[in-house]
Structure 1
């Protein structure tokens, strides 16, 4: 398979639209399963919001201040779908303010410009953000749902434009991101269990990049909240049962 963009990846995972692609185990017993079709709908809705509300496109820097989570994956994929850059951990320089901040803790954010903060509520059944919102910020729980399941106009992806800025890792362009998601032909699709570490930034980076690689290879992922991963690791029988029930073929 040869893929160069997130759009290519989405075409792969929607060839079998009902097949589970992301299964998330959250703290408190939450289990969320997204099929290829449902994941594409979330990405399209979110990408539409980024374009229509924030004019996102190549060169736009979107700081994703979220923990490892299925919603974090959606925001990263949506940012890449419109050719913008995912920034983790504040980016390479404190002097470089992002254009948009996506966060689950908006009260502590100093907005780069009015209205450029998107507050994300993590629980699956949230219909609004449960907390104080900065003036002019966008409540993702309600705003995303107002957009179409189909992608409207989106700027073309520039392979030379920045795609990922993260601490302690080389920055990637969209062309380099395409190389990273490209998988050798003939390789069997995997169902991979992802155990992100406790560090918020590095755990998010690992979760997002591994999910992108596996989906581009026509695979699927089972992702665990760090607290859930620790709880399962302490009980070997529970761990083995999870691997068997989810038909996991690899662990990262």
Structure 2
């Protein structure tokens, strides 16, 4: 039996570091938005670079750290995946779909800006435009992520080591709240990868949102834990069977979920 990928990793950020050390050039996250025709592919190295820049933004510009909580009002998107791993790199608890009024930081896409104003702390807005473009006009009361992140450093080191036993993720399972440490998140991700049959080097296509564990598992965490990769598809309800077959073949998908 083959040894599990990154067996010593105890946080999601450590899973990413293991992938970077093994094969930085392989694809990690491929994203489709079928409403705009956008396709973005990030290698492990490129994804890690975005995570490092976002982590530096979190730590140095937003003064976020362990014991802070970030509400992420974002869809399943490559930039959302970056934000999740950046939170875990800094030690911030990520709460996808969380209540902004109860968070010290909120990160929102265009559809969540009104709700995000309930956060009394730092607010970051993502335009989610093709090629990571900026808002035509920055929303009042928000930092524009696309304007802030390019100037951040390409390397990241937390001010203090991230404790694998500290809170890392707040999500839902079958509609019930679940709070996980980094270590528990990695363990559940490994179990999920085994349950869905995702093997090392595999490629899972997911159309699930990130608003519960099932979507986070299929669309990010199980691929990280298995040494695999993910194809995220958004706004794809109108695709025909032939179009799906073509995408699955061209992307060399080994498993489809959603």
1:24 aligns with 2:28: no
Tell me how far 1:107 sits from its aligned partner: 4.3
| SS of structure 1 residue aligned to 2:107 | strand
Is the strand fraction higher in 1 or 2?
Answer: 2
1:130-145 aligned at under 5 Å gives the runs: 130-135=136-141, 137-145=142-150
What residue number does 2:208 align with? 196
Deviation at 1:132, TM superposition (A): 4.7
Residue 88 of structure 1 is matched in structure 2 by 96
Who is 1:160 aligned against? 165
Partner of 1:5: 11
Quick one: which of 124, 129, 137 aligns to 2:130? 124
TM-score by length of 1: 0.85
Conserved 8 A contact 2:74-2:97: no
Q: Matches of 1:80 and 1:4 in 2, distance apart? A: 11
CA shift in 2, pair 1:247/1:71, >3 Å:
same
Q: Please say if residues 32 and 233 of structure 2, whose CA atoms lie closer than 8 Å, have aligned partners that are also in contact.
A: yes
Residue 229 (structure 2) aligns with:
220
Question: C-alpha displacement at 1:126, in angstroms?
Answer: 4.1
Equivalent residue, structure 2, for 1:231? 238
RMSD over aligned Cα, in angstroms? Answer: 2.3
Give deviations 1:202-236, integer Å, cap 9, x for gaps: 4xx544332122122111111100x21x122xx21
Query: Which ranges of structure 1 fall in alignment gaps of 5 or more residues?
Result: none
- TM-score norm. by structure 2 comes to 0.83
1:63-106 per-residue CA deviation (whole Å, 9 max, x = no partner) reads 00011111111111110111111112235xx8x61010000136
CA distance in 2, matches of 1:107, 1:244: 37
Q: Aligned with 1:125: secondary structure?
A: helix
From 167, 178, 198, give the equivalent of 1:170. 178
**Is 2:79 the counterpart of 1:71?**
yes
1:58 corresponds, among 47, 66, 73, to 66
Give the whole-Å Cα distance in 1 for the aligned partners of 2:161 and 2:188. Answer: 19
Q: State whether residues 195 and 224 of structure 1, in contact with CA within 8 Å, keep that contact through their aligned partners in structure 2.
A: yes
Q: How far off its partner does 1:180 sit?
A: 2.1
3-state SS of paired residue (1:21):
strand
Structure 2: 5+ residue stretches without partners: none
In the TM superposition, what is the alpha-carbon distance from 1:142 to its structure 2 partner?
1.1
Task: Kindly state the Cα deviation for residue 245 of structure 1 after the two structures are TM-superposed.
Answer: 0.7
- Give yes or no for contact 1:72–1:208 (8 Å, CA) kept in 2: no
User: Residue 154 of structure 1: CA displacement?
Assistant: 3.9
With over 3 angstroms needed to count, the CA separation of the structure-2 counterparts of 1:131 and 1:250, relative to structure 1, is: same
Equivalent residue pairs, number: 238
> CA-to-partner distance for each residue in 1:26-64, whole Å, 9 max, x for gaps?
122100000010000000000110001222222110000
